[in-house]
Each structure stands twice: as structure tokens, then as C-alpha cells.
Amino acid sequence: MIIVVAKDGTGDFTSLQAAVDALPEAAGASPSIILLRSGEYREKVVIHRDHVRLLGEDRDRTVITWNGCAQDQYEDGTVKGTFLSATLTTTGHNIEVENLTVRNDAGDGREVGQAVAVYAAGDRGVWRGCSFIAHQDTLFCGPVRLPNTLEEILPRQGRAEESIRVEGGPLTFSRQYFEDCFIQGDVDFIFGSYRCWFERCTLFMNERGGFYTAANTNRAQPFGFVFHRCRLTGACQPGEGFLGRPWRRFARTVFLECEMDEHVAPEGFCDWDADRVVTDRYAEWHTTGARADQSTRHPSQKRLTDEEALLITLPQVLGGADGWQPDRRIPTWFLCGDSIMADYPQESAPMTGWGQVLRPFIPENVYIANEAVCGRSTRSFMDEGRLERIALCLREGDRVLIGFAHNDEKQEDPSRYTAPDSSFPQNLNCFIDTALAHGASPVLLTPVVRRLFDESGCLVPTHGPYPDAVRRLAKERGIPLIDLEQATASLVEQAGPEGSREIYCHVPIGHPNYPDGLEDNSHLSLTGAVRIARLVLSQLSR
């Protein structure tokens, strides 16, 4: 389910940290989605759960900001240091952050020391279309480093990445991927020990100048930071932005096909001190722009040949044993419907929505966002802003499965009723148009039949003109149709009056969740939900 955070109180939470804390500790197969509405959220945030998608409504108007810095003190007067200064820390694995700005506004590092905007401490982090804005030490990609750091930023979880301390920094197996991001800072403003790939990012050096990178790569790691097709620019004087310096002796940083303007120092990389010097683990290839001339570069940096550069690929750098492909966005199927499709808590078992059990039967790699809610019609679903929430999360390649009618039929309830020949198809058109406007694929579904047999054992249709209204609209709009009414009618008729009981939620007296028993001929049992989920997929694949 999509969780909405809104400053004005129109969402589920007004604080991002409160929304994160409310997420279940046990991660499901699909990530929890947190939608952050536009506004400035002045808070220090730790995402301490796995499998989370944090989506901003607008990159420039959705801002998380804090003013932590290395000079902040504990009550006893000791300073907290760099790694407790971050505005946003992600310690969970499989975190995706998109379309927002993270800022540390503590100020100039000459006055406050290091002040981190983002501390990416987990594995398989994906950052798309984000802005990170700070001064000294903007973006850190590395494990939780110190016991006091762990205690303060992870009081709820108590988990640190295991690391092996060897020369050159910790040996880590974690990875972060950045795509179309804007990263602004000055001294060492991208630093850490993780393997990171930066695709089409803009690196902006502040007026102070300094070093775009300060890698801390372990000697045993073949890759550290890789920048591909990025642009390096800034506000400093020409030549005052160095490509990087080695935080530890075996740091590795590579720039591939990047554009570098006059703010970049002609020397490129720079030694840190007499012990931490530039080696051939620093490299460039096919640089363009005002600083494309590599003849002025540090004498020890590597000038990659075409053959050497072509071996530095995203799968090679970040793939790992799990074959991770962060550049390939995993599509999401958004399910829009009512109680027949919805998720149910354990205390409602064996009542099950077919959307609840859909994911295990999908052969491809997709996420399921089941937004179906019990008792909703097309009207009430939209009136509650649920379609608007989905619209803000939709991306090209997603799917929207639209299945209503059970509650649209209820003439006695004006808050839900829609007319089959007017408002019902009009509302369905709103769902279709929303999906298409965001590059997603809409799919219409007719409703599941109710279990109602006449005296002769024939199934009695109960949905009136609504299924035909869905069929007509699918044909008019050229939208894929899953005819669940027809498919489930065949299923129920074949099972017969007695055999079909197992498809629906029929519970004997004495069940822990239904002490008085239950005879429900509309809602599904686990058996029925599984059968119908498989019907959905069989028709979808046609």
C-alpha cells in the first residue's frame, strides 16, 4: 500500500521518519512505497527497513533538510563527528529513492566541519533524479563505521554491516547506483568505500573548491567509484576542483565519457599526502569539455585504452553474484479494486483477495502494489484520493489493473453508486487516462461472479449491466480486457453448488477468526483467491 507523507496533514503522516517507523519489519516481495508530497521536511531521517521506495512528488519542491555537522556535541562536550551529521541515512537494503532533494544546510565546512546530506549504508541502493546539496562531505557511501554511530542512528534496529578492516579501508560488498542525480558540495563531497556507479549525474563544485571525490576503496576490491557520462561543473574559480584524492592508499575512481568544464583542475587527481598518493587505480577515458586534455593530468593516473575501458561496465562493477541490474527499473503493477482484490490481515483468514496472492504466479520480475480496498467503488476510490496517489507513483512500463463493480452497483449508497451507462464508464476512463498519461498500461477487469444458484442448480448473474459496460469500454478504448465474470462463471458452474463452496469464504463454526462461522458467497477463500489469480494471469498473457 502507498503511504503518503504530507506537511499539510492530508496524508497518512506529516513526518517522513514516522512513516518509516510504521513500516513492517518483515519485508515483503514488493517494496513498501512512501510518497513524499511537496514541501520542506525539516527532520533527520533514518530508513532502517529493507525494501522501501521513497518517491518525491517534485524533485525541486520536495526537500528533506537538516543542519547536522561534525561539530555537534554530546552533553559531555565531545563532538559527534562526520557520520552522525547526515540528513538522510539509509541502513536498509534494497532502498530506492527518487525525485526529491536532500540537503544539509549546516553551512561552510570551514566553520562547521563536515556536514553530510546522504549517508548510504545499505546494499543495493538506487537513487534516481535526486539532488544532494551540502558543503563539505555531501554524500557518503559506506558501512556504519563506529559503535556510537550505530547506537545513535540505529536505535530501533541494531544492525551494522560486517566489515573486515584491512589496509585501504573496510572490505565491503555493498553497492549504490545513482542515475540523473545532481550532487553539490566542495571538499571530498563524494566519499566512501562502496562500489558506486554514477550514470548521467551532474557534480557541482561550490565556490570554495576542493575535491569531487575521496574514495576509500579496499585493496581487494577491483572497483570503487565509477562515473559514466557525467558532467563536472561548479561555481569555484577555474581549476579549483580536483577530480579526487585518495582517502586511503588503494582508492579507486574512474571517469568514463564525462564532460569536464574549466572548473576542473588541469591536473585532474591530487595526492592527499606523502603516503596516500594517486596510483593507476585512478583513471579517465574519453573525457570531453574544456578539461578534456589528459596531457596535463597527474603522472601516476591511468590513461585507459579503449579495450580496458570497455571492460568497466555496470554489470561488472555492480552486478555481483545476484546479477543485480539497477539500471533496469522493475515495473510495478498497481491493483485498483475492491474487497475481492484487496489484501487481508491474518485475523481475517481464510478470507483472501486474489491480488494478495498474485505475485508468486508472475514469472517476470515485477512489483505488486495492491491498492484495492474493501468496500470501494470507482467513485469512492477516486473521492478518497487513491487514484491521485497512484498517479504520483506511476512510471513508464508500469501496469494498472482496474477491477470494480461490486460496490458501484449499490444504489442505496450515493457515496458509492455509479450508473452503468454513464458515471461508471466515465470513472473507468479516468483510471485509463491516468495510466496512459504516465506511460503505464491500463487493463480492465469485469467483476468476479457471486455464488448464487437457482433451484435448478444454474448460476444466477448478479452484476446486471456492469460487466457489459466494462467490455464495451475496453473495445472502444482498445484496452486489454480480463473477463473475470465469464471466466469465474465457468469455474463456479463447473464446481457446482456444493463444490464451489471452497472457492468462497465458507468457514465452519468454531474457527478462531469466525467463532460463529461464516457463509460468504461474494468474498474468496485462499483456494478461490489462488484460482482467480491464476485466471487473471492466464488471460493477461494472451
Predicted confidence (pLDDT) per residue in 264-301, tens digit? 999 999 999 999 999 999 999 999 999 999 899 999 99
What residue type is assigned to position 158 of the chain?
G
Provide the pairing of β-strand 164-166 with 169-171: antiparallel
Q: Binning pLDDT at 50, 70 and 90, where does residue 170 land?
A: low
Strand arrangement of the beta sheet that strand 190-192 belongs to:
45-47, 88-90, 118-120, 139-141, 190-192, 214-215
- Any idea which residues carry the catalytic annotation? 339, 519, 523
Domain spanning 332-540: which CATH class is it, in words?
Answer: alpha beta
Residue that has been written with the C-alpha cell 508468486 in this structure: 360
Q: Binning pLDDT at 50, 70 and 90, where does residue 157 land?
A: very low
Asked which of 154-163, 222-231, 499-508 is least confident by mean pLDDT, the reply is: 154-163
Q: Binning pLDDT at 50, 70 and 90, where does residue 75 land?
A: confident
Residue 26: its pLDDT value, please?
77
pLDDT per position as a tens digit, 450-478? 999 999 999 999 999 999 999 999 999 99
The answer to whether the 1-104+138-159 and 332-540 domains have the same CATH topology is no
Distance of alpha carbon 395 from alpha carbon 438, whole angstroms: 6
User: What are the start-end ranges of the E strands in 22-90?
Assistant: 32-36, 39-42, 45-47, 52-56, 62-66, 88-90
Does residue 163 surpass a pLDDT of 50? no
Instruction: Give the cell for residue 159.
Output: 544492525
pLDDT per position as a tens digit, 313-322? 999 999 988 9
Does residue 160 surpass a pLDDT of 50? no
Q: Binning pLDDT at 50, 70 and 90, where does residue 158 land?
A: very low
Residue 374: its pLDDT value, please?
98
Asked which of 10-19, 77-86, 125-134, 462-471 is least confident by mean pLDDT, the reply is: 77-86
Nearest to 31 by CA among 15, 47, 14, 45: 47
Distance of alpha carbon 192 from alpha carbon 199, whole angstroms: 18
Residue 423 CB neighbour total at 10 angstroms: 15
| Coil, helix or strand at residue 529 | helix
Residue that has been written with the C-alpha cell 563524494 in this structure: 190
Just give the CATH number of 162-328. 2.160.20.10
Nearest to 514 by CA among 344, 375, 373, 358: 344
Residue 146: its pLDDT value, please?
45
H/E segment holding residue 308: helix 306-309
Distance of alpha carbon 524 from alpha carbon 351, whole angstroms: 6
Residue 110: its pLDDT value, please?
96
Q: Binning pLDDT at 50, 70 and 90, where does residue 7 land?
A: very high
Distance of alpha carbon 393 from alpha carbon 93, whole angstroms: 21
Angle at 426 between CA 421 and CA 427, to 5 degrees: 120
The answer to whether the beta carbons of residues 93 and 126 sit under 8 Å apart is no
Distance of alpha carbon 542 from alpha carbon 533, whole angstroms: 15
| Coil, helix or strand at residue 285 | strand
| Coil, helix or strand at residue 109 | helix
The answer to whether the beta carbons of residues 119 and 91 sit under 8 Å apart is no
Residue 169: its pLDDT value, please?
58
The answer to whether the beta carbons of residues 117 and 134 sit under 8 Å apart is yes
Residue 212: its pLDDT value, please?
98
The answer to whether the beta carbons of residues 483 and 466 sit under 8 Å apart is no
Residue 14 CB neighbour total at 10 angstroms: 16
What residue spans define the domains of the chain?
Answer: 1-104+138-159, 162-328, 332-540
Distance of alpha carbon 330 from alpha carbon 30, whole angstroms: 10
pLDDT per position as a tens digit, 507-528? 999 999 999 999 999 999 999 9
Mean of per-residue pLDDT scores for the chain: 94
Q: Binning pLDDT at 50, 70 and 90, where does residue 28 land?
A: confident
* Structural fold of domain 1-104+138-159: Pectate Lyase C-like (2.160.20)
